[in-house]
Amino acid sequence: MKKIFLLVALLFTISFSWSQRSQTIAYIDMEYILENVPEYLEAQNTLEAKILKWRKKLDVQARHIEVLKTDLANEKAILTKDLIEEKEEEITLKQEELRRLESLYFGPNGDMFSIRKRLVKPIQDKVYTAIQTISKRKKYDFVFDKSSDLVMLYSNKKYDISELVLADIDRSRSIALKEKQREERNNSKKSSPKKDLTANQKEINRKKEEAKAKKIRDVEARKKQIAEKRALILKQREEKRQEMLNKKAALRNKTKTPLAKEETTITQEETATKVKSVTSEDKNEKEAEINEIQIKKKEIEEKKEELLKQREQKKQALLEEKNALRKKEKVPLPSAEPTTIQEDVNSIKEDARAKKIAEAEAKKKEIAEKREILLKQRAEKRKLLLAKKEALRKKKEEELKKRNQEPE
């Protein structure tokens, strides 16, 4: 009975002392550890370089969009409705592309987070394994992170095991480096007997190098030939463009009416897009258009001259009437007569002015209608030219693809 009682008392005291045992705690400073790990710094530098490169690319695209917007705002007054819609559509597409790139690089599942995870995760794993080994060896119950959101009002330096973690990481790095060097030495020893190549192998290697060099020379020659052809085509296009500009400049110098100015501004806008694919048919059509414009200008000038002649005749008639009245009446006229004559003169002037305004309005309307017809014809031609250009571009791309797919 005494033995049982003593055993129960002993077990009670042991359990009580075990419950009263103090728990061992330590802490680390993760920021300090990562700053002193060379692999982490290298990974951070590569990530920052990539981020800087992406930001530069996005800034370039954003500046390009701003330039397009300012150009559209400046040229909006002289552009047609179709061209304005095309430019606005281009700007919206560029903006959507910019937003897509931003989400691709810096979005929740973007490249920045994936690269950071890929570069930083192995280093963090090393740190966590080092903490686990130290905790098991030192028999710590808890290990806190000082740099985390956990509020530590006071921490004794003797419980900081950051230096131990760094030492463990350095030790594991040195062991891994030694193992790598040992493997390299073993591999070099294994591959050393194979260094002495036979004559047959040397001949095969020489033939491979010659074939590779020949392929490179062929590719270079092909690229040079394509570049020469392209330069020749560009030169021909530039000559045709210069010829067209000279013709237009000559026409502009001959005719200086407002219609000519309007037509030249419209043609100057469209020459930049049309000149690149000018053919003989387009030249004939343009010459016909120019002839029509010249005929219209001549008609307008003739009408102007007629109006000026009519004005002069009316003025002359009025002056003759006044002189005749002055000769007949030497005595000063009564107050009623001059007023009536003045009223007649004013009414004649007003009728002439109203007639002139009506004629001018009719001419303006006629010119506006003709201009709209010309603009529609030019827009249709421009669409045809763009379609031809797109077809030529696709054809060239297909030819280049075929050339690239040919066995080298």
Cα separation, 270 vs 379, whole angstroms:
9
Q: What is the pTM of this model?
A: 0.36
Write out the two tokens for 293.
């414009």
pLDDT over 60 at 334, yes or no: no
Cα separation, 408 vs 394, whole angstroms:
23
Q: Are 125 and 43 in contact (CB under 8 A)?
A: no
Token pair 């979005």: residue: 107
Which pLDDT belongs to residue 340?
Answer: 59
| pLDDT above 70: percentage of residues in the chain | 78
pLDDT over 50 at 140, yes or no: yes
Q: Are 60 and 38 in contact (CB under 8 A)?
A: no
Which pLDDT belongs to residue 275?
Answer: 47
Q: Are 238 and 275 in contact (CB under 8 A)?
A: no
- Concatenating the DSSP letter of every residue in 116-141 gives HHHHHHHHHHHHHHHHHHHHHHHT-S
Which pLDDT belongs to residue 321?
Answer: 80
How far is CA 76 from its chain centroid?
21
pLDDT over 70 at 292, yes or no: yes
pLDDT over 70 at 206, yes or no: yes
pLDDT over 80 at 135, yes or no: yes
Q: How many CB atoms lie within 10 A of CB 256?
A: 9
Work out the average pLDDT over 381-394. 88
Per-domain residue ranges of the chain = 18-192, 199-254
Highest-pLDDT range among 220-224, 276-280, 300-304: 220-224
Could you tell me which of 252, 360, 248 has the C-alpha nearest to residue 300?
Answer: 360
Q: Which residue has the higher pLDDT, 165 or 335?
A: 165
Write out the two tokens for 229.
């052809």
Local confidence band at 59 (pLDDT 50, 70, 90 cut-offs): very high
pLDDT 10s digits, 153-197: 666 777 778 888 888 888 888 888 888 888 888 877 666 544 455
Own/partner contacts of 346-350, CB < 8 Å, gap of 24 or more, are: 348/314, 348/318
Burial of 47 (0-12, 13-18, 19+ CB in 10 A): middle
Cα separation, 237 vs 243, whole angstroms:
10
Q: Per DSSP, what are the bridge partners of residue 144?
A: 27
Cα separation, 205 vs 227, whole angstroms:
33
Work out the average pLDDT over 289-296. 78
Work out the average pLDDT over 49-56. 90
Which pLDDT belongs to residue 408?
Answer: 45
Which pLDDT belongs to residue 85?
Answer: 87
Work out the average pLDDT over 8-23. 55
Burial of 157 (0-12, 13-18, 19+ CB in 10 A): exposed
Which pLDDT belongs to residue 332?
Answer: 47
pLDDT over 70 at 8, yes or no: no
pLDDT 10s digits, 76-121: 888 888 888 888 898 899 889 888 888 888 888 888 888 888 888 8
| From 20-29, 289-298, 370-379, 382-391, the region with the lowest mean pLDDT | 20-29
Q: Per DSSP, what are the bridge partners of residue 28?
A: 145
pLDDT 10s digits, 247-277: 888 887 776 554 445 555 555 555 544 544 4
Which pLDDT belongs to residue 63?
Answer: 92
Q: What are phi and psi of 20, to 5 degrees?
A: -85, 0
Local confidence band at 15 (pLDDT 50, 70, 90 cut-offs): low
Three-state SS at 255: coil
Which pLDDT belongs to residue 270?
Answer: 55
Q: Are 311 and 352 in contact (CB under 8 A)?
A: yes
Q: Which residue has the higher pLDDT, 5 or 161?
A: 161
Which pLDDT belongs to residue 149?
Answer: 65
pLDDT over 60 at 14, yes or no: no
Q: Are 255 and 286 in contact (CB under 8 A)?
A: no
pLDDT over 70 at 331, yes or no: no
How far is CA 83 from its chain centroid?
19
pLDDT over 50 at 339, yes or no: no
DSSP label at residue 276: G
Which pLDDT belongs to residue 44?
Answer: 84
Work out the average pLDDT over 307-336. 71
